[in-house]
Amino acid sequence: MEILCNEYWLPIIFTFLMGLSVLIYVILDGYDLGVGMAMKFANEEQRNVMLSSIAPFWDANETWLVLGIGILLVAFPTAHGIILTSLYLPTVFMLIGIILRGASFDFIAKAHADHKSMWSNYFIIGSALASFSQGYMLGSYINGFKNEIHYLLFNLLVGICLSSGYLFVGSGWLIMKTSGELQKKAISWARASLWLTACGICVVSIVTPLLSERIFEKWFSLPNFFFLLPIPVITCCIVIFIMVILKKLPLDNDRLCWVPFVSSMFLFFLGFIGLAYSFFPYIVPEKMTIFEAASSADSLLVILAGVIIVLPLIIIYTIISYKIFWGKAEI
């Protein structure tokens, strides 16, 4: 308990919990955002199967975003104000996209046949808008919320690349959850989106150290360089491995259909680890550390008690829902 009461460890614990929530959100809600965007390239029957594949999960997936932002608000209130103020417009567009997705998802099932296509298109637009906004927010966070034209162009590029990353992980989900012609289409979508996803990883990996001398030193000073070298090497190996697997799929008896999706999880995990290492201990890039932004130790202890109760419940619910609705998607 004395360790938990330490003003040094409590901010680190909450940073870990917030990062974990964001990572799980990016993977889980990332695939259903990707499925939403992929509907653009499918016919009506295939769209129904795609919606069926995410229907039991997509609401629960967004819970992790709420948890992550909630931890930011209560544990790091000063940083929350700075970050959300700087990202006000993309946050608004992200919320518009999420609301549009939620409304259109319900109307697709209940609307007259003549209107189903319209609501499906709204779901696609909402998915694309939410995905791009999150990528734009990531780019803005990386460059320290600067507004010069070259930084804005960087934000746009990251927005496009993250959207492609979501499309890739969504395609991996469909490869695992569907069969037949739709599965073959998902394989082609995964092949196409993997290139831009890899491009985004490279761009972020190159630009991030160039924007900060501190980050550059963390990555390229010795012996750090050799300790950290496995991260980009393993990332490249995973990308090449996925390319090889996608060329072989589909296989007899649907073997290895899960590999692209699981591999994409490792890809996102490594990217997240790289960013987390780069920015730690700063929560507002190069301006405010987690220790400066954190609430008082007494407040954090009370909040931690609530998180210890809520977090396992969310994890248990997520595991149970995936276990119950596992298997190939059907209309």
Mean pLDDT of 118-129: 92
Q: Model confidence at 272, in pLDDT bands (50, 70, 90)? A: very high
Residue 330 lies in a domain: no
Q: What angle do CA 227, 232, 238 make, to 5 degrees?
A: 125
Residue 276 lies in a domain: yes
Give the total number of structural domains in the chain: 1
pLDDT per residue over 277-296, tens digit each? 999 999 998 889 999 998 88
Pick the range with the lowest mean pLDDT from 9-18, 238-247, 317-326: 317-326
The DSSP secondary-structure symbol of 55 reads T
Residue 45 lies in a domain: yes
Residue 90 lies in a domain: yes
Residue 231 lies in a domain: yes
Residue 88 lies in a domain: yes
pLDDT per residue over 66-96, tens digit each? 888 888 888 899 998 899 889 999 999 999 9
What range defines the domain where residue 218 resides? Answer: 2-324
- What average pLDDT does the structure give for the chain? 89
- Integer-rounded Cα radius of gyration of the chain: 20
Measured distance CA(159)–CA(161) in Å, rounded: 6
User: Considering only CA atoms, which of 307, 200, 265, 291 is closest in space to residue 23?
Assistant: 265
Measured distance CA(157)–CA(161) in Å, rounded: 6
Q: Taking the model in full, what pTM does it have?
A: 0.92
Measured distance CA(131)–CA(152) in Å, rounded: 17
Pick the range with the lowest mean pLDDT from 2-16, 56-70, 215-229, 243-257: 2-16
Q: What is the pLDDT of residue 1?
A: 46
Residue 217 lies in a domain: yes
Strands annotated E in 109-209: none
Measured distance CA(155)–CA(139) in Å, rounded: 4
Alpha helices in 39-87 (DSSP H): 44-54, 58-61, 63-75, 77-86
Residue 329 lies in a domain: no
Mean pLDDT of 196-220: 90
Measured distance CA(107)–CA(113) in Å, rounded: 11
